[in-house]
Amino acid sequence: MRTSVGSSLVLLALTASALGVAGQASADPAPPADFRLTLLDDGERIPRDETAPLPESVYPGVAELFALRGEVVAFQAVVESQTPNVRDFSVTLGPFANGDKTVSPRVETFAEQFVEIKRTTGGTRGSGVAFRAGAEPEPRLLGFYADALVPAVPTKAKQGERGALWVDIAVPEDAAPGVYDANLTVSSGGALVTRKVRLRVLDGAPIPYGKHAPTVYYDPSNLEARMGNRNAELQMRRLFHAHHVAAFRNTLVAADVDADAPYLTGEAYDPAKGYVGPGAGKPEGIEVIGAYGELEDADPQKLAVVTEMVKKLDALKVLDDAYLDGGEEDFTFPRTWRTALDADPLTKRLRVGAACHSDPTTLLPEVILLQTEVFGTETAAAAVKLGKRVWANNGKRPHGGAMVLDTPATDLRANSWISARYDISRWVYWEATSWTQRGGGKLPDTNTDPYTVAESFRNAGGNFSNGDGILVYPGRQVPPGMTTFDKDEVFPSVRLKNVRRGAQDAAYVELARAKDKAKADAVVERIVPVAMRAARGAASWPTRGKDYLDARRELAASFADFSAPAPVEPAASPSAEESSGCTTSRGGAGLPSFVAAGVAVVAVAARRRRSR
């Protein structure tokens, strides 16, 4: 037996004439809303059980968002049902207008999936891989919390158990600056609640892409083992790219370079080839030969294979983006490879890298990955001046944000602020698809369903962690008994969304520094007083999304105009009534979960079914 979650989408092209006036009330009133709607910032982690309080909303009235052109902003719609039966809740947003002016952002919605965290990430022989003693998040996140985001399906809720919907709004690069309003509608069984969403498109150039690049490793064999094939690989790479994340896998032979070529050149991210999202046409910027030291020591046969790879990388004009991973600084691998590669002028250009723990100015590798707890910011800066590339690796509180589930959602956002604080060019996470027992010394019993089991990592050293190494979730799972949505794609997570938010925040820092560096630096230092090796005690950065939102607004005020007036309210509007602290609209059933420029996508409620 396996649990399957099926969904079908009915695509309806609804023109303005077919709809009548957008958002016009139906002649038949909707039943009174029997659920409460709360809009939350994208930096909050949502607890399922109503016994755990929700964070205070930064959107008690109109949900006011601001964005640069090319930026993606997001919020969460949380529903609390007043009926005991499980119900589907869908969300509609759009269109955005200001009088006769409109903007047509790409809107995507996701149902947030809850998984139970049974114990805090830690270790039986020490503090574990994510937190030093005294740096654990308080209060502890135990119980059911949201992370996986399933696209274009309703969320489910019942009395005592919340549902949550994630809403992404991607602002086009050619959008006209101004302020636009849209109606958000959350509906269930005819009952609906509406709220106004206000989008301020800032003037100036589109948001920069690729600053302080977050980077993830993934293992294609995890796709094969869990999803039955690698069909989702292109979609996954594009998903990462759209979230300002560079991705790499282990390349061992020349054919691997051929397969990676579209990513390395940016062809895979060409809109003409089907890519949709930020960073159009931008190259990946990284290629790793023999990831995690898999090539071990150099020998003539291996050198011949690597030489062919180098020739291909050079022909693609991306050799400068590549390095050979010698594993760790204490291994012999980096030295034997540096010696072997130096014998030929072409292969000599290939850098050798390693995970290190010593002063990077004294080390042989040219690419140095430092865990946050050993990352000395001054010695790293000195090594960069010597021509080395010094990157942050993973994250352990209070030195860097941890990628586990039981931390505030903002932890991975904070890492981009840390990068901006200390000018770290790349931050590498050890895995993004760690759904199986492969990698990191994991024990066999960690081959679990990530939708139902939070504890994804255990090793012989006694460490255990929740959601570690998982930034995307499989849309199809072939092992018996595991949750599947029968889709050859991977789904994003709340954590991946916060990686994106952090990368975009770093772009704001870059723009603000160009106007007033001292003022921008003061904002960054307020968010991150101290991090990396020098940090002690609790993590210094904020845990609430509001703090980052306020800081981003302060940065934006230095380079963008916030003076454009809000849309003028119409003289008359459809009648409305207050219900459960929210505004309910008397209208027809809610529009779909994806709306852009008058085209509606209606999600037929997904139903769980059992199948052999």
Q: What is the pLDDT of residues 576-600, one digit of tens each?
A: 333 333 333 323 333 333 333 333 3
Instruction: Give the neighbor-by-neighbor strand order of the sheet with 455-458.
Output: 122-123, 463-466, 455-458
Q: Which two tokens stand for residue 116?
A: 């139970």
Do residues 325 and 448 share a domain?
A: yes
Task: Write out the DSSP string of 212-227.
Answer: TEEEEE--HHHHHHHH
Do residues 316 and 294 share a domain?
A: yes
Do residues 40 and 147 share a domain?
A: yes
- For residues 436 and 349, give the distance between their C-alpha atoms in angstroms, rounded to a whole number: 36
Could you tell me the CATH number of the domain that includes residue 157?
A: 2.60.40.10
Beta-strand runs (E) in 252-330: 287-289, 322-328
Dihedral sign, CA of 268, 596, 214, 464?
A: negative
**pLDDT score at 124:** 73
**pLDDT score at 30:** 62
Do residues 401 and 365 share a domain?
A: yes
**pLDDT score at 592:** 34
Burial of 18 (0-12, 13-18, 19+ CB in 10 A): exposed
How far is residue 174 from each of residues 42, 71, 104, 206, 568, measured CA to CA in Å?
A: 24, 11, 10, 8, 24
Domain membership of residue 247 (yes or no) is: yes
CA angle 430, 274, 472 (to 5 degrees): 25
Domain membership of residue 53 (yes or no) is: yes
Do residues 135 and 260 share a domain?
A: no
- For residues 224 and 205, give the distance between their C-alpha atoms in angstroms, rounded to a whole number: 41
Query: Greatest CA separation found in the chain?
Result: 81
Model confidence at 126, pLDDT cuts 50, 70, 90, reads low
Q: What's the residue count for the chain?
A: 612
Domain membership of residue 503 (yes or no) is: yes
Query: 60 or 126: which carries more pLDDT confidence?
Result: 60
Q: How far is CA 406 from the centre of its chain?
A: 16
- According to DSSP, the residues that pair with 65 across neighbouring strands are 199
Residue 205 pLDDT exceeds 80: yes
* pTM (two decimals): 0.89
Average the pLDDT over 460-479 and give the result: 94
Domain boundary among 548, 568, 586: 548
Phi/psi of residue 139, each to 5°? -70, 160
- According to DSSP, the residues that pair with 201 across neighbouring strands are 67, 178
- For residues 167 and 39, give the distance between their C-alpha atoms in angstroms, rounded to a whole number: 10
- For residues 285 and 216, give the distance between their C-alpha atoms in angstroms, rounded to a whole number: 12
Q: Lowest-pLDDT range, 363-367, 383-387, 447-451, 568-572?
A: 568-572
**pLDDT score at 28:** 56
Q: Lowest-pLDDT range, 34-48, 125-139, 147-161?
A: 125-139
Domain membership of residue 560 (yes or no) is: no
Beta-strand runs (E) in 13-71: 35-41, 63-67
Domain membership of residue 319 (yes or no) is: yes
Q: How many domains does the chain fold into?
A: 2
Q: Lowest-pLDDT range, 408-412, 507-511, 582-586?
A: 582-586
Model confidence at 298, pLDDT cuts 50, 70, 90, reads very high
CA angle 43, 508, 433 (to 5 degrees): 50
Do residues 305 and 452 share a domain?
A: yes
Average the pLDDT over 264-284 and give the result: 98
Q: What percent of the chain has pLDDT over 70?
A: 87
Do residues 504 and 601 share a domain?
A: no
Dihedral sign, CA of 242, 173, 147, 404?
A: positive
Domain boundary among 548, 564, 592: 548
Domain membership of residue 568 (yes or no) is: no
Do residues 372 and 515 share a domain?
A: yes
Q: Please give the DSSP secondary-structure letter assigned to residue 133.
A: T
How far is residue 133 from each of residues 121, 123, 180, 205, measured CA to CA in Å?
A: 11, 11, 47, 44
Do residues 197 and 218 share a domain?
A: no
Domain membership of residue 561 (yes or no) is: no
Model confidence at 607, pLDDT cuts 50, 70, 90, reads very low
Q: Which two tokens stand for residue 189?
A: 């069984």
Q: What is the pLDDT of residues 564-580, one digit of tens each?
A: 888 876 544 333 333 33
- For residues 491 and 489, give the distance between their C-alpha atoms in angstroms, rounded to a whole number: 7
- Which residue range forms the structural domain that includes residue 369? 213-548
Task: Write out the DSSP string of 174-192.
Answer: TPPSEEEEEEEEEEETTEE
Residue 241 pLDDT exceeds 90: yes
- For residues 230 and 221, give the distance between their C-alpha atoms in angstroms, rounded to a whole number: 8
Beta-strand runs (E) in 511-593: 576-579, 582-585
- Tell me the average pLDDT of the chain: 89
Which residue from 72, 42, 35 is spatially nearest to 166, judged by alpha carbons? 42
Average the pLDDT over 247-262 and give the result: 98
Average the pLDDT over 64-92 and give the result: 97
Q: List, in sequence order, the alpha helices (H) in 298-352.
A: 300-315, 333-341
Residue 542 pLDDT exceeds 90: yes
**pLDDT score at 87:** 96
Domain membership of residue 555 (yes or no) is: no
Model confidence at 39, pLDDT cuts 50, 70, 90, reads very high
**pLDDT score at 318:** 98
Do residues 271 and 160 share a domain?
A: no
Q: Lowest-pLDDT range, 71-75, 209-213, 463-467, 513-517?
A: 209-213
Do residues 249 and 269 share a domain?
A: yes
**pLDDT score at 515:** 97
Q: Measured in Å, how far apart are the chain's first and last C-alpha atoms?
A: 5
Do residues 290 and 320 share a domain?
A: yes
